[in-house]
Amino acid sequence: MNPSLEQLTADYTALAGQVETCDFALKGYHLSVAVPSNQVVAAAEIADRAGFSIDAVTGVDWIAQNEMEVVYDFFHFTSPLRVVVRTRVPRAEPELPTISAVFPGANWHERETHDFFGICFTGHPNMKPFLLPEDATFHPLRKDYQP
């Protein structure tokens, strides 16, 4: 069941997302989708239905815009297709729902993102400190972090 680019584009556009088709040779992915933060679970479900696998979940701290970006990478086992779903949350209150119910593999990635950026994934089953020490109160990948 190889997904088609058009179908995916249509699905994500229906999700109030801004879909951008990219040149793989320049970017390293085919489809970049920006969705509102409350739509990430639906976006993940679309990827799940299309047979994608979770690659990574990570964050980027855009301190100038006072926003944090959460990036979900999906890759496909059988078709050479890569989709990037991104969403932005305000820096002051970085919260968005977890997709670990859709992709259990996102569990660890989200814990890591929580550690590094302090982004809270609501509904996450096991939001414990992960890579950082248990008593760490800092989020090292935030741009205003001073060691």
Partner 1 sequence: MNVTKETLHLATAGDAPQETFVLNLGPQHPAAHGVLRVLMTMDGEWIQRAEPIIGYIHRMHEKMGENRTWAKFLPNTSRIDYLSAMHYTHAFVGAVERAAKIEVPLRAEYARVITSELNRISSHMVWWGALLLDLGGFTPILYAFDDREKILDLLEALCGARLTYCYYRFGGLYNDVDDAFLKGTRDFVKHMQPRLKMYRDLVTDNIILRKRLEEIGPISAELCRKYGATGPVIRGSGVAYDVRRAEPYSVYPKLDFKIPVYHECDSMARYMVRMDEMEQSLRIIDQALDQIPAGPFIGKVPRVLKLPVGETCYAVEAARGRFMVRIVSDGKEIPYRVKLRTPSFSNLSLYEEASRGMILPDALAMMGSLDLVIPDIDR
Q: Which residues bind partner 1 (CB under 8 A)?
A: 24-29, 51-56, 58, 60-61, 71, 73, 75-78, 80, 82, 84, 103-105, 107-108, 116, 129-133, 140-141
Do 83 and 52 meet the contact criterion of CB atoms below 8 Å apart?
A: yes
Nearer to partner 1, 14 or 124 (CB): 124
Q: How far apart are alpha carbons 46 and 15 in whole angstroms?
A: 10
Nearer to partner 1, 9 or 79 (CB): 79
Do 43 and 57 meet the contact criterion of CB atoms below 8 Å apart?
A: no
Token pair 């680019």 in the structure block, residue: 5
Minimal distance in Å, beta carbon 73 to partner 1?
A: 7
Nearer to partner 1, 14 or 26 (CB): 26
**Closest Cα partner for 33 from 71, 2, 79, 1?**
71
Minimal distance in Å, beta carbon 103 to partner 1?
A: 6
Minimal distance in Å, beta carbon 119 to partner 1?
A: 14
Secondary structure (DSSP) of 49-88? HTTEEEEEEEEEEETTTTEEEEEEEEEESSS--EEEEEEE
Minimal distance in Å, beta carbon 70 to partner 1?
A: 12
What pairs with residue 138 in β-bridges?
A: none
Nearer to partner 1, 15 or 111 (CB): 111
Nearer to partner 1, 14 or 89 (CB): 89
Minimal distance in Å, beta carbon 84 to partner 1?
A: 8
